């Protein structure tokens, strides 16, 4: 059996992130990539458990105790793969061969419908720059099909300018 060394323990990234804890999820904004990530409750618990000292099987045991329900190690590896892909880990763990080809669909099939609620999900968006975030064009600006005019009167079609 392969000995697990501290190099194989996942560690969450702390630098360059803005983290906002909400009741059922955690929002993580990556300042370097301008990406916002929403971690559901399960993914957030796995991410928070990545302290660089705890192996995936132990994370699964901790989450089983915390959630008062069986938390399969497969779920931990799925979450770690997502977190690694998004750059939210400073140090990732090398998954055992039996977990390397694990897809979310296969996981749901193997765990059953009751475990679907516990599947870790991370959704991400690219945050717009300040210029891209402008929601409307000021008065007398050229009209645009992609950005609306600020005035409730909208675009003056004959002049092609915002009212």
Q: What are the sequence ranges of the domains in the chain? A: 6-126, 134-163
9, two tokens:
């323990």
52: left (phi over 0), alpha (psi -120 to 50) or beta: left
Q: Is the pTM of this model over 0.95?
A: no
- What is each CA distance from 33 to 36, 89, 136, in whole angstroms? 9, 14, 25
> What are φ and ψ of residue 143, in 5° steps?
-70, 150
CATH number of 6-126: 3.90.930.60
pLDDT digits 0-9 by tens, 16-46 = 999 999 988 999 999 988 899 999 998 999 9
Contact (CB, 8 A) for 78 and 119: yes
pLDDT digits 0-9 by tens, 68-119 = 888 888 888 888 988 999 999 998 777 676 666 666 566 666 655 555 556 7
Give the three-class secondary structure for 90.
strand
Give the three-class secondary structure for 78.
helix
Q: How far apart are CA 91 and CA 52, in angstroms?
A: 7
Strand partners, 91: 11
Element (H, E) at 57: helix 56-67
Scanning the structure block, which residue is given the tokens 């675009």? 155
């Amino acid at each position: 059996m392969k000995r697990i060394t501290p190099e194989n323990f996942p560690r969450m990234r702390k630098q360059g992130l803005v983290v906002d804890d909400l009741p059922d999820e955690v929002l993580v904004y990556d300042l370097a990539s301008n990406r916002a990530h929403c971690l559901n409750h399960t993914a957030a618990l796995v991410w928070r458990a990545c302290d660089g000292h705890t192996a995936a099987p132990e994370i699964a045991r901790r989450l089983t105790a915390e959630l008062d329900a069986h938390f399969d190690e497969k779920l931990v590896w799925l979450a770690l793969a997502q977190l690694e892909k998004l750059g939210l880990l400073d140090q990732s763990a090398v998954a055992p061969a039996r977990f390397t080809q694990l897809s979310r669909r296969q996981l749901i099939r193997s765990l059953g419908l009751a475990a679907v609620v516990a599947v870790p999900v991370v959704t991400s968006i690219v945050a717009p720059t300040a210029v891209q975030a402008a929601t409307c064009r000021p008065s007398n600006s050229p009209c645009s099909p992609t950005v609306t005019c600020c005035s409730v009167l909208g675009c003056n079609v004959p002049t092609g300018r915002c009212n």
